[in-house]
Amino acid sequence: MPSTDDITITQTPLVGGVNEAGRFSDKDAVISSGKVTIDPTDPIKEIIVLHSNLIDGIQITYNKTDGTVAPSPIHGTSAKATIPNRNTISFSKGDIITEISGLHGVPAENPQIGHRVLQLKFTIYNTGTKTTRVQGPFGNQNAPSATDFSFSTTGKFIGIAGFAVNVDISVAECTRKGIQGGLYGLSFFGTAADNQPGPGPTPPKDIADGHYHIVNRVGDSVLMAGITGYDYLYALNPPFNLAPFKEALYTWSVMKVKNDTEGRYEIYNKEPTTRYIEPQGFSWYPVIGSTENTVRVLPVPNEPDWYFIACSSEKNPFVLENAAKPGDVIYPASYPYCKISSMDDRNSSQFWRFDPVKEF
């Protein structure tokens, strides 16, 4: 069995909603006294998903290094509930989760419950048979207003954290009773391949200090800051009418950090005040703020003049991704947020180029 002493654990951004009364983390089942205590080769024994038109509850049972198992509490709706669907995913020797995807948002049929995890799907690879299977999707199969997410890893996913209010009834029944309950949001713990830190992205190629339009590979969408009070990042999808927007919203100043070797830059605009692209926090959307901050600009391998904008500090970071698709009509009412995703050199919606412009 591989040593557990030097395993690097990473965590994805949150998907779904927040309820501070129900913050949880299975990390205590995964790490003890700074060391991983689950089996690093076969970390998960089973996953139980309780779901209806969303994910009501979830539980993971872990394989530990001493040969025992450690079931977590069911987070959200428990197995005691009368609920339309309960699925158990069993793991055989060599099974590891390499990708987790799904949907999150406010369910159209039950908007008063707020932002939730609506759907989950697990991609499981067996290291012995070299085969892949997909479990799910579980939850809502038709959520047109939802936002999709996908997290992948070169290693394996080993645990969860998030927000849940534990109850013995479904989310729908909670709504009828006028109480809070069920699963709200999820974040996932993972490890790098072969229990070692990943190789990381290609060493950065410098971008000259100056002023730029930051353009996405998909549809030539232009990165735009939100107006005052809307401190998110948007993708302005051509063809578009620039007239309603001040040029400062989509023109960015880019300044390299002196004596830095990791590709760190300040990227900011000046409308209505100076606002910087911020490092990734406990959120699923990138934001801008008045605090002086830096992000990394990393070249896409074998793609000259295209870059990732990395909003986290891991060797395999989370990066800025364009949520708009070619043909989307986003003006005047609907601007798709940009989002944060695991870095993937096959995903061109994560590729950005820096087109120089004169100072606005």
pLDDT digits (tens, 9 = 90+) for 281-300: 444 567 777 888 889 999 98
Residue 205 lies in a domain: no
Domain hosting residue 34, numbered range? 9-195
230 against 63, higher pLDDT: 63
Residue 66 lies in a domain: yes
Q: Classify each residue of 326-342 as buried b or exposed e, where b means 16 or more C-beta atoms within 10 Å of its C-beta.
A: eeeebeeeebbbbbbbb
- Model pLDDT, residue 246: 66
Q: Are residues 248 and 183 in the same domain?
A: no
Which of 142, 166, 195 is the endpoint of a domain? 195
Q: Are residues 135 and 279 in the same domain?
A: no
Q: Are residues 161 and 223 in the same domain?
A: no
User: For the ranges 100-109, 256-265, 315-324, which has the lowest average pLDDT?
Assistant: 315-324
Residue 202 lies in a domain: no
Phi, psi of 29 (to 5 degrees): -80, -20
- Model pLDDT, residue 322: 85
Q: Are residues 52 and 142 in contact, defined by beta-carbon separation less than 8 angstroms?
A: no
- Kindly indicate the confidence band of residue 38, based on its pLDDT and cuts at 50, 70 and 90: confident
CATH of the domain at 222: 2.80.10.50
Q: What is the arithmetic mean of pLDDT over 77-91? A: 89
Q: Are residues 92 and 86 in contact, defined by beta-carbon separation less than 8 angstroms?
A: no
Q: What is the arithmetic mean of pLDDT over 23-30? A: 78
Closest to 350 in 3D by CA, of 360, 338, 358: 338
98 against 141, higher pLDDT: 98
pLDDT tens digits, one per residue of 122-169:
999 998 888 899 999 999 866 666 888 888 877 788 889 899 999 999
56 against 245, higher pLDDT: 56
Please, what is the end-to-end C-alpha distance for the chain in angstroms? Answer: 59
Q: Are residues 250 and 320 in the same domain?
A: yes
pLDDT tens digits, one per residue of 178-204:
999 999 999 898 876 543 333 344 445
Q: Say yes or no to pLDDT of 341 above 70.
A: yes
Note the maximum CA span of the chain. Answer: 65
pTM for the structure as a whole:
0.56
- Kindly indicate the confidence band of residue 84, based on its pLDDT and cuts at 50, 70 and 90: confident
Domain count along the chain: 2
